[in-house]
Structure 1
Amino acid sequence: MRRSFYSTLLTASIEATIVLGAAPTTADWASLNTTVGGRLYPGVPWPKPCFSSYRGKSVQPDAAQCGYVQQNHFNSHLPRSDAFGGYTAINYEGCMSTGDQCILNWMNPTDPTAFSPPQDCKQGSISDYYIDVAQASDVTAAFQFVKTKGIPLVVKNSGHDFSGRSSGPGSLALWVHHLKSITHVPKFVPDGCNCAGTNALTIGTGAQFAQVYQFASDNKLLFVGGADVAVAATGGWGQGGGHSPISRLFGMGVDRALQYKVVTPDGVLRTANRCQNSDLFWALRGGGGSTFGVVLEGTMEVFADRPFQMANVNWPVSVNNTKQVLSVFLDNATALANQGWGGYLTPPNGNLILLTAGLSTTQQAQASVKGINSVVTSLGGSVNVQQIPGFLTWFNGYVQGIYGAQDAVGLPNSLGSRIVPQKNHATAASRSALLDATMDAINNSFFQQIHFTTPYGYTGTKVEDTSVNPIWRSSLWQIITVNTWPYDASLDVKKAQYAATTQALASLRKITPDGGAYHNEADIHEPNFQTTFWGSNYARLLSIKNKYDPNHLLDCWNCVGWAGQAASRFKCYI
């Protein structure tokens, strides 16, 4: 049924494209569909079943499918990631510059004014077509197609992208979401290497943290990963750096990478590790996803599972309380990092969640957070310190909102970030300046979160072995700030919210001139992004980019080698 339904939809979509004057012909698309085994599908906005008009033509709404989308539209991570037309930040489903979009009212998804006539479901930034990638030849075919037809190519995984790199108007997409294999290799030796084996997992690029963590726990293993149930472990997270609440002791995602299988833009499936294609391997360990090639699988080092000490800190939410908690946090941040603590401070929730495997007893953990405990209890809050049997216990609680909470998805998202060096904590005066600048960021944004997740103190990897910005190694935390807007906001309102995000971090940028920003969680208008994202590594990354992708078939906003905003691929940015 699925093939028949989509074949019919594909034919209709091709006809619509021809009317619009797109370069590829019906025969071109049909030939590509045959080449990829019938896995070429039209890209359809996720809320389309709620509309009676799609791209200016009457269509029949589907009440059942509409109900499912409405139920899962806001803050439902896995269902949204399972829909090709669904994105974490819904502004990248639409075309922000023109207002063309097909979205529901995220504050009330059943609000009929968003989808009832005369509302039209427009394509926005959703790719016109996508290939449901199953094998390397699918990627090779896509590279050949876009090279000869001159249309943009994007790579989409879970859609958890805050810069819109996985969508693009008039594009062909490679959807790697269904590459979900996981294999435990107790003594993995990278291809072509002569070395001792390493305990590892080989993971398809579509496998998400919920699946990976469960697999690791079932096999009594510890996998270094992030904090969102839907994010894919070896996709943009793993290739962009990959910070984790356990990075103090086990490094970042790029520190655990042992090998990638990647199709480069010349259509060749390559193995990249320290013994072959080592320059490409280095670039993939921090240079960003969807830039140097399309990764199909990655092999990552894992460790024996172990218990963790966890501190769950909660306080009544107010600006004054947040400032007091943040002040004591900044005073103690270096000591906490040295004891292996990592986690997330979320001001709007009045929560700080911390984990460490560096302290062996709960008594030691309680003593470690004594200063924070004193302040929080004086505010009427609580600090619960306990030992948990493994990382999965915390992660499942985090997803459920028991031990902290995931960021919301399914809303417009103007996000910015700043990585804060440890030296800004060195003196009382520098901490006071840091407190004021951080409160400025908090007070001028809709949502904020401090990621106490840098690899500060970790020495298991040489800095030069990965391409991640070296500033991560000497920093204690990063902050993200978010602004948003109503579904029917005007262009001026959207511009104002992006400007507010840039301005919210101005004070932090000023007092951290040696800091940086994480390109996976960055302001799309980040000043001097090349240096801010990659530091001294950018020149080498650009050289590798030009070697493997001389025609820049993989081009994404503020990525290595970005061609600039003038290309049609980027016409929807503001």
Structure 2
Amino acid sequence: MRGGVFTLLSSALLLAQDAVAIAPDAVSVAGFKAPSWVLRRDGGSNYACKCYPGDYCWPNNGQWQKLNNTVGGNLRVNIPPGAPCYNTFKGPLGDVKTYNKAECDKVTSNWYNEQFQIELPAAGLWTYFTNDTCRPTTTPTDTCTLGYYPVLVIMAKTTAHIQAGINFARENNLRLIIRNTGHDFLGRSVGWGSLVINTHSFQDIKFSDQYRGACNYSGSAVTVGAGVQAFQVLKQANALKPPKIMVTGECATVGVAGGLVQGGGHGPLTNFHGFLADTALQFKVITADGILRTANSKTNADLFWALRGGGPAAFAVIVEATYKTFDDKPSAGLNLDIDTSHTTNATLFWEAVRIFHGYSTHFVDNGLYVYYELGTAGQNLHVHPFVGIGKTPEELQAVLKPMFDDFAKIGIKYTSSAANFNTFYDLYNAMFETEVAGNSALTGGWTIGRKDVEENHPAVISAFQTVLGAGSFMVGHMWSAGHGLPKNQWANSAVNPRFRNVVDKLITIVPIGGNAPLADKAAAQHRLTYVVDAALRNAAPNGCSYINEADPFQPNWQEAFWGDNYPQLLQIRKKWDPEGVFYSVSTPGTEKWEQIETGTRLCLKL
């Protein structure tokens, strides 16, 4: 199936697009130069929209053929991952017979495997924003449609392929998506009617003992291609002598040169070195005009600043990134669980949660990173793990002793286990749990400021109870992005200044099927925005929101995501992408953009 159907030249799917309607005069949209807009009316408002299959401006077969030649035959028609389980994929470019039992069995058995989904051309690891279409099934006669998956994919192998894709999308006013791993909670790796540029093949990793570049830095560094994932670079860094480490996310499958750094990039080393964005030394990028550029503190410095936390898929496509690396250290870790096997008394359980979370400032001030889940299985506090980088088990236990003493005072039982490791990398592989793909949910989140814990902690715990009571659950990350980073470096990246005083970053999850009735989806979104996350926002007014793990539809998202940095980011966006070639929900400059007609067409409100 993949050898024929996915190769554009061996299919006839695009031939139907040669018979298009006579094109009307090009629509002029103030401030945007794209030659072809599609006028629509939705909800009483007028819109100018990107071009989609069936529109007069959708490229014809000859144009797609020319693009395919330009990108070395790497343009593919996209078919949803679950299609081999169906007799027919009913796509926007034509029907395709897709049933293949062996392929279906493979997809079904690997559906929840992150790396399997990552290696696919245009899958989203979490399926809500795909419209949850065409999931694996045991009934081949069911209907498989494209849903909100992209229409076509460029499997880019060179920078020239990326440039060609950007130019083609700009010249034809297509919705463009940049995908590396699809590791995204907000659906930014998929999009109805879109063209995707897949950058996952860019796998180069190069280490340097003494980086010499524009930044005032001469230590060790690593340069990675756009497709490199955390587990890949960490493994190679650990093999160096002495072993090195870099700031990455908690999840090992995340790409380290794209959306992670553009959103900021927090992880277990954030206490010591800030965000991944704070460690960036240089980028090679392709901007919306299709030009390959270097961005660092001396060359295109405004772009360099914006790429360091100013918003994913907003300013340019990163093809290569250079980061600082650091000496790895012996580390200790400890797991903690309190659940119904320890107590069924809700009052006692929440008192234990209050004690645990009340020590968040103590934990981060002592250099700990804490990853925890709350309410994933009802009354459940799952801390896996407490991380003490550079600490012995005795030193880690000493930091945690006041918490355990308070647990003893209230008589709460718990399960705990500790371990010691030669390096943090060893701890990372042994103690962080594997995450899964393939589930459907809405994701929100908020952060808890130091002042909120110190002055308003009872309200914070009450907000936690509201979150769980609304059918949601939470994932917490305790760190301080201002703890180990010199204050004179805080403004060097575009991340929200409020993050420097955060001690806990929360992800909230509201389970909902992507194919649920529209009324149910609207109700779930309302519950996330105005019940779940609103409780956290009200209880923690000194917090902020992290663009990669948050509700993009929250009120005043500009302030929540970037604070005082937003006006400058908006001006930089207008400079580098004046035509709106790139789009990512709720990023600088997207105020006038909406996905109308049940979240399909991307349009400018007139």
TM-score when scaled to structure 2?
0.86
Q: Partner residue of 2:60?
A: 25
Equivalent residue runs for 1:65-464 within 5 Å: 65-74=103-112, 76-94=113-131, 101-104=133-136, 111-112=137-138, 115-117=139-141, 119-190=142-213, 193=214, 197-219=218-240, 220-317=243-340, 319-320=346-347, 322-347=349-374, 348=376, 350-352=381-383, 353-357=385-389, 360-374=391-405, 378-397=411-430, 403-427=431-455, 430-460=456-486, 462-464=489-491
Equivalent residue runs for 1:522-537 within 5 Å: 522-537=550-565
Change (3 A) 1:309 1:548: same
1:59 lines up with 2:97 in the alignment: yes
Change (3 A) 1:307 1:320: farther
- 1:366 Cα shift? 0.9
> Which secondary structure does the structure 1 equivalent of 2:11 belong to?
helix
- 1:116 Cα shift? 3.1
CA distance in 2, matches of 1:145, 1:410: 31
> Which secondary structure does the structure 2 equivalent of 1:198 belong to?
coil
Change (3 A) 1:372 1:405: farther
CA distance in 1, matches of 2:211, 2:248: 19
Report if aligned partners of 2:8, 2:75 keep a CA contact under 8 Å in 1: no
Amino acid at match of 1:21: G
Change (3 A) 1:196 1:411: closer
Equivalent residue runs for 1:490-501 within 5 Å: 490-501=517-528
Q: Partner residue of 1:548?
A: 576
CA distance in 2, matches of 1:570, 1:299: 40
Change (3 A) 1:306 1:573: farther
| Percent of matched pairs sharing the same residue | 28
- 1:368 Cα shift? 0.9
Q: Partner residue of 1:13?
A: 13
Q: Partner residue of 2:34?
A: none
1:44 lines up with 2:79 in the alignment: yes
- 1:384 Cα shift? 2.5
Structure 2: gaps spanning 5 or more residues: 20-52
CA distance in 2, matches of 1:240, 1:258: 16
CA distance in 1, matches of 2:597, 2:116: 27
> Which secondary structure does the structure 2 equivalent of 1:462 belong to?
helix
RMSD: 2.4
Change (3 A) 1:81 1:322: farther
Task: Report the structure, 1 or 2, having the larger helix content.
Answer: 1
Cα deviation code 1:240-279 (max 9, x no counterpart): 1011122111211111111100000111111111111111
Amino acid at match of 2:194: S
Structure 1: gaps spanning 5 or more residues: 96-100, 105-110, 398-402
Change (3 A) 1:531 1:406: farther
> Which secondary structure does the structure 1 equivalent of 2:7 belong to?
helix
- 1:406 Cα shift? 4.4
Cα deviation code 1:527-570 (max 9, x no counterpart): 11111000000100011111111111002211111154535698
Aligned residues: 549
Q: Partner residue of 2:35?
A: none
Q: 1:506 aligns with which of 531, 534, 540?
A: 534
TM-score when scaled to structure 1?
0.90
Q: Partner residue of 2:50?
A: none
Report if aligned partners of 1:447, 1:481 keep a CA contact under 8 Å in 2: yes
Change (3 A) 1:43 1:572: same
CA distance in 2, matches of 1:21, 1:457: 54
- 1:235 Cα shift? 1.3
Report if aligned partners of 2:448, 2:503 keep a CA contact under 8 Å in 1: yes
> Which secondary structure does the structure 1 equivalent of 2:483 belong to?
coil
> Which secondary structure does the structure 1 equivalent of 2:371 belong to?
strand
Report if aligned partners of 1:418, 1:518 keep a CA contact under 8 Å in 2: yes
CA distance in 1, matches of 2:386, 2:17: 51
> Which secondary structure does the structure 1 equivalent of 2:477 belong to?
strand
